[in-house]
Amino acid sequence: MTGEGLTPFNRETALSFISSQTQEIVSAQVEAADRLIVSQERVASGIDKVGVSVDRVADGLEGLEAAFEWGFSEIVWHLEQERAVLKDILKVLQAPLDTQAKELRQRAEEAYRNGWIDDALEDFLESERKNRYDFTVHHSLGNIYFFHKKVPEKALEFFEKAAKYATPKSPYHASVSLLHIGLVKYLQQDFQGAYEAAKKATELSPNLYEAHYQCAQYGANLGKYDEAIDHLWEAIKGDRNYCLKAESEKDFDVMGEKLRSFFEEKRNQAQNEAKQETDKAQELILYAESYGLTGSDKFVTSRQKHNKAKEFLNRASLFDCWDAIDTAWDVPILTLDALEAYVSNEISRTFERSEGEKHELEKQSRSGRWMPGALLGFLLAGGLVLYTIYEWYEKGEIAGLFDVILCFTFAIIALAFWGGTLGAIGALIVWPIGFLICTPVYKFLIKRVEGRYESRLAELHERLSEIQSKRSELNRKYKQKEKIE
């Protein structure tokens, strides 16, 4: 459980080292895991063989979660000191110090990072005398005495000071020191002392999941199986890989049967929840399809996720069932997004069609008001032209082909001139009649169009309201789920 870190310490190298190490650790845990926790299909797919990202490693113990191992705890401590939150605390702690005291501490840290342990020890001890409240100095001294000098009693003394002075300034860093206290006492076979230290860490930092895990581990050694399960579950809620870590941890062998029953219970609960969520997702997909939704990218993705959720559920391991739940929860969001966009677009298109038809009818209505007068004018002009040609014919003034052509030409010119003139005069005279006839007719036609589209738009708005109501209900469920978690 113990070991030395990289010497000398380099931040980028350390981040890369831990990230690659965690990948190897997780891969080994997955390979060895009970199929109740990880299915054979998951092992083959390599879905769980992913190391902790560099960003998470940079967050120290808090970011590593289940990937933390005591073997690189010193590297993690160096990374902790690089974090902005600790630097801000140290600015306050070091404010009253003179320049020499600050330089002494910096020199000690540099020596420690470079692996010059004796020089680091000497300078840290001198730094502690100048500023007893700097908990980081106490913790570094604890590391040196424990991991390098192999003097656990001295290490315990400094870890306890670190926890004491860190508590009012940074409960999280106090918890880190408490976990080191727990480790020292655990190796001394003082399981009760180790358990109490880890439990105090959970009280100071409830979201430090490694503290819950170590509390569970030490509780198992004490026969506190129920408490161990409770703390293990808190750790798992933060990082499910604690299932793998616990399953491979020898300290849990004493409660192996109870641990397996716990995993079976969680798997059965997850399986039931996954079945419910995939069924609900299926209902929502069918609901969307009943509206005619098919080709939306989000809806296609939604159906793919639903199929993936069912695939996870069929595998039936604990991790697969949890993934089935999470994947099925994505389906309603995507489906309702796609459906809301589809219905909103349908409303816009329907409104545009309605306005287009109404505009066309209004245009026809305006031209129709002039039509009776114009038609009457052209009829009069046509009658006059025909009568004139008939008179010429009766008088014998149309004798040959040439006369016929002249008459035809005259008829076209006269009809165009007199038709246009009389048509315009007739339109002005008869316009009131056209207005009286066309206005009610086209108003009736426009009302029919409005009525037809209004019913369709009302139906679409009702659907949109129903979709938005489902979304509100879904949001409430999400909030409740977040509170439970």
Q: Does position 380 have pLDDT exceeding 60, yes or no?
A: no
Q: Which tokens sit at 8?
A: 């000398």
Q: Does position 403 have pLDDT exceeding 80, yes or no?
A: no
Q: Does position 303 have pLDDT exceeding 90, yes or no?
A: yes
Q: What is the pLDDT of residue 22?
A: 83
Report the range of poorest mean pLDDT among 26-35, 54-63, 294-303, 406-415. Answer: 406-415
Q: Which tokens sit at 172?
A: 């999280």
Q: What is the average pLDDT across 126-151?
A: 94
Q: What percent of the chain has pLDDT over 70?
A: 76
Q: What is the pLDDT of residue 395?
A: 65
DSSP assigned state of 52: P
Q: What is the pLDDT of residue 471?
A: 82
Q: What is the average pLDDT across 414-440?
A: 53
343: confidence class by pLDDT, cuts 50, 70, 90: confident
Tell me the one-letter amino acid at 448: R
Residues 169-187: pLDDT tens digits?
Answer: 999 999 999 999 999 999 9
Q: What is the pLDDT of residue 2?
A: 36
Return d(Cα 160, Cα 142) in angstroms, integer. Answer: 9
Q: Does position 104 have pLDDT exceeding 50, yes or no?
A: yes
Q: What is the average pLDDT across 147-154?
A: 96
Return d(Cα 416, Cα 401) in angstroms, integer. Answer: 23
Return d(Cα 231, Cα 221) in angstroms, integer. Answer: 14
Q: Which tokens sit at 75?
A: 């590297």
Q: What is the pLDDT of residue 1?
A: 36
Q: What is the pLDDT of residue 167?
A: 96
Q: What is the pLDDT of residue 3?
A: 40
288 or 212, higher pLDDT: 212
13 or 9, higher pLDDT: 13
Q: Does position 377 have pLDDT exceeding 60, yes or no?
A: no
Q: What is the pLDDT of residue 7?
A: 62
List Cβ neighbours of 181 (8 Å cut-off, separation of 6 or more).
156, 159, 160, 163, 193, 194, 197
